[in-house]
Structure 1
């Protein structure tokens, strides 16, 4: 008999499953990319108008795992999907709560939300298992996006660009590189919702499984080996993210291949965004998971932005 997936205290109402208040830990203070510190570094974040280093978005996915497992059981680990638009940043020490609205009868997709104590919404989106036969939160968002106008940082990045396949693996004590300066074992020591499924074989598959938030690390940690031709140095952040298990779970100490494709370019007053679809393959060549990620680059973090905009487009930006 497999152990219970989670011992998390869940409040259940007629409409929702609600997790406990948690304080996610910040593990990216030492993250570097583009040869400089990231938005998770206090000094860098403060220069860009944030109070300090921010908690990485997928850290919050762990708080939804017990809710998904309560609602869907084993299917959550095999074909679960979280699709989220990050609405506001979270700082270390702040308490956040995960809320999952129960799906309508006969459906396999529902709404999710994370909030702070003061009601600030950290993220919103959808959770589902299998084929929900409805657009996920980010599929719907992508369909409504306007193409990026007047790109500067992303002017050489083209939709449909597909990178080379890369082999990736995650062991318990493996160093995950400059982007993720911690190991799986270090993450499990502080993860908001731990599970015996993550550290041992006492589960339906007989092998340790990788938590959903760490799938983001697995899929991204070799991305710098095949970077997009974006201008820099500049600071980026995750603005939207969807992780979908197709034939899960994914296992510790297992080789996978990842392939990234640019599927959209979009923008806002402060950012230029490249949306990448990562497909993950097992040793048989089957797709076992996908990730849709909106990496939004802050215009103000790219020093020559105004000068290059004027050179490219003949006037200052609006």
Structure 2
């Protein structure tokens, strides 16, 4: 059975997927007892047109391209490493583009664009141990350290959380952060596959799509949260999901462990870069996720007051 029926176009040195309209499924998302950037009213207060589509939703459109290029290896050792460049709203059409790999590497450049040419994300796709740094590995090496933190002032690099048991079954609601089930996602996913819904695949059981691995890995993150000041609104600015011994399976239990690997900032945000390591029941590490969770300074009401108290009083 074929993994995907997606129509793929080859133009020059790239594989190009079809135009798709991703669905926004996080309207009811809450964290820290307040609404998120995926809620229309909250997003509009911060200058967005409405609730934004979560970044990893876009990862599904790259799956058929990766599978076309690398076959089974894509599901077992595939990696998407992306810097989110602009937000996407429900109803907008987007297209995934994957360049052919450079000689002697197993890595490609990736890009997603809107109809008007706006770039939604850019980064790399790869399989196995590519000799070239991924997009986010390179980006980590160029970061300027966070100075004068307010929202993240109690968060430290190398801070590690407790190991947590997670699983994702077809009809399991994934909680306040992700108020929907895997079955509900599969009903509207941009690129459907029989590999996701049944056992007729090389591994003999349903596999979890890469975009839903983000949901699985974050599922219990609020049970052991970082000491971030709030309430404040955050967004995903960079994200890398790497399979080491994939795929991961519906209904199976895994353990996740999170570590802060970097802190950075911009004019509008303070960012915690968190590495999630994922283990199967034998203790083997099967996947990792690197996530830049950026918090909007303007969404934290006492930001200016606390900044002055912390950093301007003695200057």
TM-score by length of 1: 0.98
Say whether residues 1:300 and 2:298 are aligned partners. yes
Of 176, 179, 185, the residue aligned with 1:178 is 176
Q: Secondary structure at the match of 1:189?
A: helix
* Residue 209, structure 1, aligned to residue 207, structure 2: yes
- Superposed displacement of residue 104, structure 1: 1.8
Deviation at residue 14 of structure 1 after TM alignment? 3.0
Corresponding residue pairs, total: 314
Equivalent residue for 1:61? 59
2:101 and 2:107 in contact (8 A); partners too: yes
How far is the alpha carbon of 1:314 from its aligned partner? 1.1
Of 33, 36, 40 in structure 1, the residue corresponding to residue 34 of structure 2 is 36
Q: Give the match for residue 263 of structure 1.
A: 261
1:180-225, CA deviations, whole angstroms, 9 ceiling, x for partnerless residues?
A: 0000000000000000000000000000000000000000010000
Q: Secondary structure at the match of 2:141?
A: helix
Task: Map 1:47-86 to 2 at 5 A.
Answer: 47-86=45-84
Matched, 1:200 2:198: yes
Matching residue of 1:21:
19
Match 1:99 to one of 91, 97, 100: 97
- In structure 2, the partner of 1:142 is 140
Instruction: Look up the SS of the partner of 1:144 in the other structure.
Output: coil
What corresponds to 2:187 in structure 1?
A: 189
1:155 pairs with 2:153:
yes
1:229 alignment counterpart: 227
1:75-109 deviation line (CA, Å, top 9, x unaligned): 00000000000000000000000000000233100
- Given candidates 62, 87, 90, the residue that maps to 1:89 is 87
CA–CA distance in structure 1, aligned partners of residues 119 and 50 of structure 2: 18
Deviation above 6 Å: which 4+ runs of structure 1? Answer: none
